[in-house]
Structure 1
């Protein structure tokens, strides 16, 4: 069994179509891809896929095989990148990820901590959504990342850095902007924006909060990042909940107000692979307490 067979199988499973996978993902012909899948099934000894009116569907054996195929591809990619890093004889590097926006407060102190102990350290930074950071950690592309807790962390471990309160964000001339704090019931009839599934931890926290408050939330829009949120808030005169650190990113046309009563919160963690024994990582983990007040 070759890695290309696994790549082809995963591509077809994700696309749900041999034609789409062949043309848009693998850039090969559909007959050639079909042969590769048949070769894989012959080697495995069971049928992994079947055609249906809706395209390609996985058999029960195919569903079981898919999880292992994804893991094998991730491990192969991690092995390749580990070998490439080991072959580089340049100054020591540390690949560090940040949840987009969180680096504004964290990065100066993190850089000071690491470079005081490792003066020649090359810190390679990435900024992304938490799910993407988790995937980069599992693939070995990052050594640590400041992110939100994910539901499926696999071989990743984490430590809590701080707990961020959520705040209401709304147009500066909105009727609720004159209030010192806003209760969830007060926005029941307002246009409300929900974070998309690109930020699943924030989304879960917002939905759980309104559920506890007994507010039947009916979001009219979803946004993918803070910039998108600001644009939608100003154009639709909507309200949404965001982590408090985003307040520093708001233009004059948008303002923030604290939550009245039970304040929803969301942890920011530093995540890393359990097998990572880097002394640089150990230093960073030992300094988490110094970062707790950094927002």
Structure 2
């Protein structure tokens, strides 16, 4: 196996096409440089350079070998700095899971913050419901989840990212959208409902049935994604209880009505991560998130 010094020597000669200039570039004399090239050619088993007293030229094999030798030398030069930057969380990978609803509210600003403060960290995104995120975090397939409670606080550290209101989505031409007074639970009693799946959207299902006396005979459709609910509302299939950030979807033909009987901002989104994670990039992201939350509290 050839050495890194031999590869570095070959690159210098191949680029200079002159042993004297290559030796000067490498801060060495010409005889040991010639020996390095000879050893390299013996190891590789082919002639890489054609040389005589007047000229040095690359053989076809030398041209091919030069590309790989350059990559090897560059990688070797970058390796110590990369290791230091990875240890500092400046380089590496972050695998982030997110719920569909967080995708149109918080995810964009978070990715912008990562790009600004950790520009050389690669981000891999996976859309998952909270239960899937929990499994992936425990299996080591995710570094951070944007998830809904509850989750096991003995296994995960967390930070509450934000809370928002729960609103009623109704077709824009629905009589409820034309009321000249506050909406009440009684107004909804006989309305066809588009409900959250009790298995795939358990957080929202539990939240709604805990706060509102649902008439299950009125449930027309059961779905798992907020966007699907809003599309069905726009199509006149019923009304739905959705987080206030659903307005950001910009679906036409839908009005969003607050329920004064619902306490303010009951919908929560948390960042969660494994207590045993060793990813330096995650540690840096968590410090950024916590710093951002602290700044928001101070305002």
Q: Where do 5+ consecutive residues of structure 1 fail to align?
A: 1-90
TM-score, normalised to structure 2, is 0.60
Contact 1:109 1:291 in 2 (8 A): no
Equivalent residue for 2:115? 115
Root-mean-square deviation (CA, aligned residues, Å) is 2.6
* Offset, 1:221: 2.3
**Aligned residues between the structures:** 201
Equivalent residue for 2:124? 124
TM-score, normalised to structure 1, is 0.61
For 1:162, what is the secondary structure of its paired residue? Answer: strand
Equivalent residue for 1:198? 200
Change (3 A) 1:181 1:146: farther
Change (3 A) 1:233 1:117: closer
* Offset, 1:235: 3.9
Whole-Å separation in 2 of the counterparts to 1:260 and 1:178? 16
Change (3 A) 1:262 1:228: closer
Q: Which structure has the bigger radius of gyration?
A: 2
Change (3 A) 1:189 1:260: same
Contact 2:200 2:224 in 1 (8 A): yes
Whole-Å separation in 2 of the counterparts to 1:146 and 1:217? 30
Change (3 A) 1:105 1:232: closer
Change (3 A) 1:182 1:288: farther
Change (3 A) 1:235 1:117: closer
Change (3 A) 1:112 1:237: closer
* Offset, 1:233: 2.1
Whole-Å separation in 2 of the counterparts to 1:256 and 1:128? 26
Tell me, yes or no, if structure 1 residue 171 matches structure 2 residue 171.
yes
**Alpha-carbon deviations, 1:159-207, whole Å to 9, x = none?**
2111121110011100001236422221011111210021111110000
Q: Where do 5+ consecutive residues of structure 2 fail to align?
A: 1-90
**Alpha-carbon deviations, 1:225-258, whole Å to 9, x = none?**
1232133324454111111111111421222111
